[in-house]
Amino acid sequence: METFANLAAGFGNALTPINLAWALLGCFLGTAIGVLPGIGPALTIALLLPVTFKVEATGAFILFCGVFYGAMYGGSTTSILLNTPGESGSIITALEGAKMARNGRAGPALVTAAVGSFVAGTVGTLGISFVGPLVVEVALKLGPAEYFSLMMLCFVTVSAVLGGSALRGLTSLGFGLMLGLVGIDLQTGQPRLTFGVPELLDGVNVVLVAVALFAVGETMYLAWRHVEGGQVVRPIGKLWMSASDWRRSIGPWIRGSFLGFPFGVLPAGGTEMPTMLSYYAERKLVRPEHREEFGTTGAIEGVAGPEAANNAAAAGILVPMLTLGLPTSATAAIMLSAFQSYGIQPGPMLFTQQAALVWTLIASLYIANVMLVVLNLPLVGLWARILKIPTPQLYAGILVFATIGTYGISNSVIDLVLLYGIGIIAMFMRRFDFPTAPVVIGMILGPMAEQNLRQALTISQGDWSTFLTRPISLFILVLAALALLGPRLWGVWRARRAG
Amino acid sequence: MIEPPAAEPLRARPGTPGADLGVGLFVVAIGLLTLYAAWAIPDSPIYAQVGATAVPILVGAALVLLGIALCVSASRGGWSGGLEEEMAAPPTNWRALGLLGAGLAVQLALIDWLGFVIAATIQYVLVCAAFGSRKPLRDLAIGIVVTLGAFLGFSRLLGVNIGAGVLEGIL
């Protein structure tokens, strides 16, 4: 019950007018900047780092937490409306969200994302307060072998549940794996697949590829199939969610939150894996009468689940950062450096040495979460109006923003060549019915899987059976095999029973 | 709203298997390129159970095999001819694609030389024209406002460097 006393003291500190003002400023800045394509929470907090010289620690961290949560809320907006995700966690949201927006359901998609973020933020913040330290203990027991198995599970889920064809899905995955290989090999320091271009030594940026696949490729495909004179203004439709939308969203919100948080806490978790798993889980779990909406008109489950998973994982990332001093995302790394600039070292001792600061910070996360949902719901109508822009100006604007988001980060024409080149490939992928999501999945998880494979084999001195002799790893691999073969065996069994 | 399909059954366009074969060959080419690049990685003196070349070779080989499988699928009639969306799709709009391509090329050619604002404004006008806009002067005006706003917002408010250029130097 010590937690409750601590939390009450934290709320006491966080609810002072000045700290509330910091939280509001952070939420506002975070949402506004999160909406911009190509700029995520990490860059925003990095730009705000100089305030640490002028503001006392509590205020600064309340500001950062507001920005952090706010950018998560804002990131889904461009994904849904413009199909241009700003950070890797909201890439999956674009899959169904953009389709919903195109079919006059932008309002419900934005609302389910905002409310889902609130549910997940609450679950995640409760998790930080109560179970965080326990989860960290478990997370420390997972080694490279377990992480490799976990990634194999992700690959298998993707290829096993893909809509159209496993062949085309695997080809997309392979293309993503290849893009992920570009750059310096982390273990030996050798350049790979760079073709002598120095700009490629750092690898290919995932957000660049996502923007190329979704925004640039889509724009090109629309030009390919453009009919002169056939101007269609896209419908905005109803802004608020219907009763059926609420019923369909509640399950995904809760499942997404509980899927996302543990992943965020894992030292190699991040927001990408839980959003993908949530997407594919919802696609499997959706009621048969709505199954057709996935990949066609856009299913609300496919926005609610991944968006909740994204926010819960983002909250979870704070757990290893605060309790172990271990940043697992770029944002957490920058927040860690902010702690250090105050002479505070996050780690197991933080909760005892800086109890007042930590609990004020956690209390302000609850406050930021409430502020954000209040701030964002009225904005839905305003954002949805973006869709009223006529097609030529809208797509010209999307291309200009895709360009500025890419060029602004690196100032390199090579990145623009990649952006447009991958965009052309994405246009043909759309034409020949290749799914784009596995490209992103392969690109993000491929390098992580390779590192974990090599580390696991180095630890086991080259013994490949390490993946089967470690119980957790074996369990995950069995799960992967079930995911691959389960539905097929189930189908055979049912066919036999029916026959 | 999507119109309900016409009463007569839609037929696959002739020549689609050839296009599918092209896709398969492209995937094989990417796989071979990956294998070539993997082969070019020098041997590392650092001992490792799985070296720097193993996974690239694996991925390249997988892509070659998948490409061959796609070619086989194409030789059996292909898959894209049967896609509902493609059967109902209007023909290729070369004018729109050409203008869009020109917009991208202008951006690549001019951004380092004349700067983001000018390059992106020209791109904006060309892309608007690609999607059937008939008012280039109005698009030019909107384009200048959008790109200048984006540039000033990113560079002044956020401090993100959007590079140097003719207009950027003056501002």
Please give the residue that has the higher pLDDT: either B105 or A45.
B105
In this prediction, residue B14 carries a pLDDT of: 45
Token pair in block for residue A174? 């392979």
Please give the residue that has the higher pLDDT: either A235 or A97.
A97
B107 contacts A223? CB cut-off 8 A: no
What sign does the dihedral B65-B68-B72-B78 (CA atoms) show?
positive
Mutate to test the interface with B, among A51, A179, A400 (most CBs of B within 10 A): A400
In this prediction, residue B6 carries a pLDDT of: 39
Strand ranges for A92-166 from DSSP E = none
Nearest to B34 among A193, A396, A461 (CB): A193
Across chain A, what does the average pLDDT equal? 83
User: pLDDT digits over A406-436, tens only?
Assistant: 887 778 899 999 999 999 999 999 888 888 8
B142 contacts A393? CB cut-off 8 A: yes
In this prediction, residue B47 carries a pLDDT of: 58
- Say whether residue B168 is in contact with chain A using an 8 A CB cutoff: no
pTM of the predicted structure, to 2 decimals? 0.77
Judging contacts by C-beta atoms under 8 Å, the chain A residues touching residue B165 are none
Burial state string for A471-495 with b = 16 or more CB within 10 A and e = fewer than 16: eebeebbebbeebbeeeeeeeeeee
A397 contacts B162? CB cut-off 8 A: no
Find the farthest-apart pair of alpha carbons in chain A and give their distance in angstroms, rounded. Answer: 76
- Say whether residue B165 is in contact with chain A using an 8 A CB cutoff: no
Please give the residue that has the higher pLDDT: either A87 or B101.
B101
In this prediction, residue A291 carries a pLDDT of: 84
- CB A131, CB A264: distance < 8 Å: no
In this prediction, residue B11 carries a pLDDT of: 44
* pLDDT, average across residues A380-384: 80
* pLDDT, average across residues A437-445: 80
Token pair in block for residue B110? 């001019």
Given a cut of 50, is residue A170 above it in pLDDT?
A: yes
In this prediction, residue B10 carries a pLDDT of: 41
Distance in angstroms (rounded) separating the CA atoms of residues B145 and A393: 12
Nearest to A144 by CA among A187, A105, A91, A188: A187
What sign does the dihedral A122-A124-A128-A132 (CA atoms) show?
positive
CA A313 to chain centre: 8
Nearest to A150 by CA among A463, A467, A435: A467
- Say whether residue A392 is in contact with chain B using an 8 A CB cutoff: yes
B49 contacts A174? CB cut-off 8 A: no
B127 contacts A395? CB cut-off 8 A: yes
B30 contacts A170? CB cut-off 8 A: no
How many contacts, defined by CB atoms under 8 Å, are there between A and B? 195
Q: What are phi and psi of A191, to 5 degrees?
A: -75, 140
- Say whether residue B80 is in contact with chain A using an 8 A CB cutoff: yes
Please give the residue that has the higher pLDDT: either B3 or A6.
A6
Nearest to A174 among B62, B139, B143 (CB): B62
User: If contacts are CB pairs under 8 Å, which of residues 93-152 in chain B contact chain A?
Assistant: 93, 96-97, 99-100, 103-104, 107-108, 111-112, 116, 120, 123-125, 127-133, 139, 142-143, 146-147, 150-151
Q: How far off is chain B from A138, nearest CA to CA, in Å?
A: 28
CA A108 to chain centre: 20
- CB B79, CB B20: distance < 8 Å: yes
Mutate to test the interface with B, among A36, A152, A195, A225 (most CBs of B within 10 A): A225
A462 contacts B80? CB cut-off 8 A: no
Q: How far off is chain A from B146, nearest CA to CA, in Å?
A: 8
In this prediction, residue A72 carries a pLDDT of: 80
User: pLDDT digits over A326-346, tens only?
Assistant: 776 767 777 887 887 788 877
Q: Which of A139-148, A251-260, B4-13 has the lowest mean pLDDT?
A: B4-13
A174 contacts B143? CB cut-off 8 A: no
Q: What are phi and psi of A184, to 5 degrees?
A: -75, 130
Given a cut of 60, is residue A153 above it in pLDDT?
A: yes
What letter would DSSP give residue A278?
H
**What single-letter amino acid sits at B25?**
L
* pLDDT, average across residues A83-88: 74
* pLDDT, average across residues A240-250: 89
- Say whether residue A184 is in contact with chain B using an 8 A CB cutoff: no
Distance in angstroms (rounded) separating the CA atoms of residues A339 and A214: 37
Distance in angstroms (rounded) separating the CA atoms of residues B166 and B150: 16
Asked if the ipTM is above 0.85, the reply is yes
**pLDDT category, A390, cuts 50, 70, 90?**
confident
In this prediction, residue A179 carries a pLDDT of: 95
Mutate to test the interface with A, among B1, B50, B68 (most CBs of A within 10 A): B50
Please give the residue that has the higher pLDDT: either A55 or A12.
A12
Q: How far off is chain A from B5, nearest CA to CA, in Å?
A: 16
In this prediction, residue A269 carries a pLDDT of: 63
Q: Following CA atoms A324, A326, A331, A334 in sequence, which dihedral angle do they give, to the nearest 10 degrees?
A: 100
Please give the residue that has the higher pLDDT: either B44 or A186.
A186
In this prediction, residue B15 carries a pLDDT of: 47
**pLDDT category, A132, cuts 50, 70, 90?**
low
Q: Which of A98-112, A278-292, A331-345 has the lowest mean pLDDT?
A: A331-345
Nearest to B63 among A178, A188, A408 (CB): A178
In this prediction, residue A159 carries a pLDDT of: 64
In this prediction, residue A268 carries a pLDDT of: 61
**pLDDT category, A235, cuts 50, 70, 90?**
low
User: If contacts are CB pairs under 8 Å, which of residues 399-438 in chain A contact chain B?
Assistant: 399-401, 403-404, 407-409, 411, 413, 416-417, 420, 428, 431-433
Burial state string for B92-101 with b = 16 or more CB within 10 A and e = fewer than 16: ebeebbebbb
Mutate to test the interface with A, among B13, B35, B104 (most CBs of A within 10 A): B104
**pLDDT category, A205, cuts 50, 70, 90?**
confident
Burial class (CB in 10 A: 0-12, 13-18, 19+), B1: exposed
Q: What is the pLDDT along chain B (171 residues), one digit of tens a residue?
A: 343 333 333 444 444 677 889 999 999 999 999 999 988 887 666 655 677 888 999 999 999 999 999 999 888 888 887 776 677 778 888 999 999 999 999 999 988 888 888 999 999 999 999 988 888 999 999 999 988 888 887 777 666 677 666 666 666
B112 contacts A433? CB cut-off 8 A: no
A416 contacts B44? CB cut-off 8 A: no
In this prediction, residue B3 carries a pLDDT of: 38
Given a cut of 80, is residue A166 above it in pLDDT?
A: no
3-state secondary structure of A339: helix
Q: How far apart are the first and last CA of chain A?
A: 59
A165 contacts B160? CB cut-off 8 A: no
Q: Which of A96-100, A158-162, B60-64 has the lowest mean pLDDT?
A: A158-162
Q: How far off is chain B from A350, nearest CA to CA, in Å?
A: 32
H-run or E-run covering B121: helix B116-130
Given a cut of 70, is residue A499 above it in pLDDT?
A: no
- Say whether residue A119 is in contact with chain B using an 8 A CB cutoff: no
- CB B114, CB A375: distance < 8 Å: no
Q: How far is CA B56 from CA A186, A192, A314, B32, in A?
A: 14, 8, 31, 11
Q: What are phi and psi of A183, to 5 degrees?
A: 120, -170
